[in-house]
Amino acid sequence: MASRKRSLPDANGKQDGLLPVCKQVKAGDKRHVAALILARGGSKGIPLKNIKMLAGVPLLGWVLRAAADSNMFDSVWVSTDHDEIERVAKSWGAKVHRRSPEVSKDSSTSLETIQEFVRFNPEVDVVCNIQATAPCLHPFHVKEAVEMITLQGFDSVFSVVRRHQFRWQEVKTGSGGLTKPFNLDPTNRPRRQDWDGELCENGSLYFTTRNLIINEGLLQGGKVAYYEMLPEYSVDIDVDIDWPVAEQRVLRYGYFGRATPEVVHLMFCNVSGCLTEGRIFLSASGEEMLSINTRDTTGIRMLQREDVEVILLTSSEDPVAQSLADKLAKRTGCRVVQVGVEPLEVLDLIVMEKKLQWKDVAYMGNDEPDVKCLNVAGLSAVPRDAPVVAINAAKYTCHSLGGRGAMREFAEHILLQKQKAKSQMKQDRIDSSF
């Protein structure tokens, strides 16, 4: 089971059991539910952390994608004081609330910032504060947590992760460091399987009604419930050392969009700018030449070994790239297809001929003509040096440049998603056997 939801104890110390996930909207609930991501520009631990690229996507983009694809919100907002963060937020389809200097200080609290947002947006009844530093959030997490307020009548819901850690408390004395147990009896240490563990806030989401925020000045109050997330989805990023760990976690457990395929069967790759680095070499005799990286040809073969057909795309306006593609096709067995200014028109026919859907297809492009294909493909990528218009359309931005290993990197990403899907299917079979 992906998550568990329990209410907190009431005033008499009672706590109910596992809460069912509701599937329909309560009749008459017309409240405006807004997602709000707080993204201040003055992060001290990691400068401009909220828009730094994580696994090919701006950190902010991971949660905006999950929020939008949950289909639970009347509006999705980013609260920021920074021009570049505003630009990125709008490119991902979010509205922007420009926060005032009063709530943009190092000492400003999340509650103060959310209160300002609510006062400026009186139509909002439920504020769903999603933390930008929670890149492994999925739409089902958001949906289930929102339904706890809209369907089950809670006033506030926050996310937790269950930890099984024995903790000790420091005792300060003049004679040095002493300690005493905080959450265990050392004479009777329980086994992990005999202990429910502790619920710790994982910082992914805090959902609250307008009434609590404005009238009582609380993010957690009234009828409170927690929403439990599994440890693999509980990622937080505060300092630089967290970044590489978070990146690996996101590649394995992150949400890459609605159309993310279980298995890619076909890949289209634009030769120019993806397998080449954008430079043309001239020989002494005036002959034009292009180079290709052996890491990229290895990436093509990696996909072919996993039964992924790779089709190379060229343009009639680039005869040098066409010549390179023809030679590469002989070495790798790839098919070469010539496309015009609208590649989607040609490639749609190929996808249909192979009785596939675009969700089963990967696409690697590098410029504006590729945007439509980057949008519809189940997995899509661009090299790191691609223009902004292509980067915004792709689901993954490579660390590598075009012609310098970007194809190999994307191939590894595709195969990792395949491995992840196989692991999930295996886990589903195990779960269904109980």
Q: Among all residues, which ones are annotated catalytic? A: 189
- The label of the residue with tokens 């159309």 reads 259
- Among 312, 268, 275, 271, smallest CA distance to 294 is for 275
Q: Which residues pair with 156 in a beta bridge?
A: 208, 224
Measure CA of the first residue to CA of the last residue in the chain; give whole Å: 11
Per-residue exposure over 275-313, b if at least 16 CB sit within 10 Å of its own CB, e if not: bbbeeeeeeeeeeeebebbebbbebbbbbbeeebbbbbb
Amino acid at 345: E
Q: What is 370-430 written as a DSSP string? A: GHHHHHHSSEEEE-TTS-HHHHHH-SEE-SSPTTTTHHHHHHHHHHHHHHHHHHHHHHHHH
- The label of the residue with tokens 């886990």 reads 427
Residue 204, phi then psi, degrees to nearest 5? -80, -45
Report the C-alpha gap between 235 and 244 in whole angstroms. Answer: 12
β-pair type (156-163, 198-209): antiparallel
With beta carbons less than 8 A apart as the criterion, state whether 396 and 256 touch: yes
- Among 311, 282, 165, 316, smallest CA distance to 231 is for 165
- The label of the residue with tokens 């390179």 reads 324
Report the C-alpha gap between 17 and 23 in whole angstroms. Answer: 19
β-pair type (57-58, 53-54): antiparallel
Report the C-alpha gap between 128 and 134 in whole angstroms. Answer: 14
- Residue 46 makes CB contacts below 8 A (sequence gap 6+) with 52, 237, 238, 239, 240, 243
Sign for the CA dihedral angle at 377, 382, 387, 392 comes to positive
Task: Determine the distance from the C-alpha atom of residue 395 to the mean position of all C-alpha atoms in its chain, rounded to a whole number.
Answer: 9
